[in-house]
Amino acid sequence: MMPPRAAVPPPAAADPLGDVVCLADLEPLARQVLPPMAYEYVSGGAADELTLRWNVEAFQRIRLRPRVLVAMSEPDTRVTLLGTPLACPILLAPTSYHRLMHPDGELATARGAAAAGVAYVVSTATTTPLDAIAGAADGVRWFQLYPLAERERTRSLVAAAEAAGCRAVCLTVDTPVAGARNREQRARVRLPDGISAPYFHHVIDASNARTRFTPLSWADVAWLRSVTRLPLLLKGVLTGDDAARACEAGVAGIIVSNHGARNLDTVPASIDALPEVADAVGGRVPILLDGGVRRGTDVLKALALGAAAVMIGRPYLYGLAVGGAAGVTRVVELLRSELEAALALTGRPSVAAVDATVLWDAPPGRPLGRPSGRPSGRPFGPSSSEQ
């Protein structure tokens, strides 16, 4: 009698990230796995989506200046931001409703960010409570704030972020109302049953393109600084006038952002707004940038024009949709690897060595040299004597 044939194990599932070699590979994969409503929510912008396109195209127009015969070891991408060491100048921007992208939602995002050694900025519109996110991984987390109508509730929310280990607060200042998000309207975007946003009380409703948020003024910035010990950054600044006033108001940092092109269509690309903001800031506080970062060369260009770091949004959401925590980590690893190559090819041994001379063309109104927004010789953030 023939011995029984051993059971043949089923073929191993293909790695969904196996063929991903750059960030552009992820969007079509994410579109295959996401419900159409979720894909439209992530990928869409405001109105005719001109700024959405410009955010990417503006980076593509900036040319780099290579250097040859510069002996160096592996380029150093490490930075220190607000006193915290990070593996590279790349952060995960605050984005909403991660459980629309993956069942593990913000838990997977936190794990992926921690594995990559980068900071994750948790959104007020998280679908996972802050304490649960804190328990998922030991990585660096900041908190993005949409203030609530009552100051006491806002104070309690900021206190909850502090208790959950968040190290900074990013106040979104560019959204008194929602933009004309026509793709969301057409897709009838809503949170499905079983998914909620515990801190975000503006019910998602694509039929109402004029949802109003809590109105803010500079007095609210002063009040918020008075009720938290955490560094406060303003997110959504595009002009030098607003950036200068923010520095005068005592903020710890500025995030140049057009809200992922989701609010006011035809505002400039974030990278086009960066030089004006950097000039106005004059190195007083760190500047971050989000919007359109898709390549390691984009990170380098932002650093050259005065940013201390960049934030990414849609790319890591696509990674989350395709591969969960591993997909988030993969996105950061790809960008960091490309940044290392760009540093080597422009003759820069480290992020700290980047200045505007890596650019082929001088920024408008500024000779080639160190950008005024990011002074040489020290990391951004308080020294031990300032903490």
Q: Where are the domains of the chain?
A: 26-358
At position 319, the amino acid (one-letter code) is: G
- Give me the percent of the chain exceeding a pLDDT of 90: 80
Res 56: pLDDT: 98
Q: Decide: residue 3, CB within 10 A, 0-12 exposed, 13-18 middle, 19+ buried.
A: exposed
* Length in residues, the chain: 387
User: What confidence tier does 208 reach under pLDDT thresholds 50, 70, 90?
Assistant: very low
How many CB atoms are closer than 10 A to CB 274? 27
For the chain, the average pLDDT equals 90
Q: What is residue 385's predicted lDDT score, i.e. its pLDDT?
A: 33
DSSP track, 15-62 = PTTTT--SGGGHHHHHHHHS-HHHHHHHH--STT-HHHHHHHHHHHH-
* CATH code of the domain occupying 26-358: 3.20.20.70
**CA nearest to 316, candidates 153, 98, 141:** 98
User: What does the pLDDT read at residue 176?
Assistant: 86
Question: What pLDDT, on the 0 to 100 scale, is given for residue 367?
Answer: 55
Whether the predicted pLDDT of 380 surpasses 80: no
What pLDDT does residue 7 have?
Answer: 56
> What tokens does 143 get?
């908190």
Q: How many CB atoms lie within 10 A of CB 192?
A: 11
Per-residue confidence (pLDDT) for residue 148, from 0 to 100: 84
Q: What is the pTM of this model?
A: 0.90
Sign of dihedral through CA atoms 95, 234, 118, 302?
A: positive
**Sign of the torsion formed by the C-alpha atoms of 171, 173, 178 and 179:** negative
Tens of pLDDT, residues 143-192: 999 988 889 999 999 999 999 999 999 999 999 888 899 999 999 998 99
- Determine the pLDDT at residue 73: 85
Instruction: Please give the positions annotated as active site.
Output: 259
Q: Compute the average pLDDT of residues 296-306.
A: 98
Residues 6+ apart with CB under 8 A from 297: 59, 64, 338, 339, 342
Output the DSSP codes for 102-139.
-TTHHHHHHHHHHHHT--EEE-TT-SS-HHHHHHH--S
Residue 132's pLDDT is what?
A: 98
Over residues 184-206, the pLDDT tens digits come to: 999 999 899 999 999 986 544 44
List residues bridging with 294 in a β-sheet. none
Confidence band for 327, pLDDT divided at 50, 70 and 90: very high
pLDDT tens, residue by residue, 68-127: 999 888 999 999 999 999 999 999 999 999 999 999 999 999 999 999 999 999 999 999
278: helix, strand or coil: helix
Any idea which residue has 């200045």 for tokens?
Answer: 355
- For the stretch 220-269, pLDDT in tens is 999 999 999 999 999 999 999 999 999 999 999 999 999 999 999 999 99
Of 335, 314, 332, 322, the residue nearest 45 (C-alpha): 314
Q: What single DSSP character describes residue 343?
A: H
**Where is average pLDDT lowest: 22-36, 48-62, 251-265, 352-366?**
352-366
Looking at residue 13, its pLDDT comes to 63
Query: In sequence order, what are the residues at sequence separation of 6 or more whose Cβ sits closer than 8 angstroms to the Cβ of residue 330?
Result: 17, 20, 319, 323
Q: Residue 379 has what pLDDT? A: 46
Q: What is the mean pLDDT of residues 279-293?
A: 97
Between the alpha carbon of residue 26 and those of residues 22, 71, 76, 157, 233, the distances in Å are 8, 34, 27, 34, 30
In this predicted structure, the answer to whether residue 362 has a pLDDT above a threshold of 50 is yes
Residue 108 and residue 323: Cα distance in Å, rounded? 9
366 has pLDDT over 50:
yes
Q: What is the pLDDT of residue 10?
A: 57
Indicate if the pLDDT at residue 384 is higher than 80: no
Tell how strand 79-81 and strand 84-86 pair up: antiparallel
Q: Which of 304, 334, 314 is nearest to 55 (CA)?
A: 314
* CA–CA distance, 178 with 209 (Å, rounded to integer): 6
Q: How far apart are CA 91 and CA 336, in angstroms?
A: 11
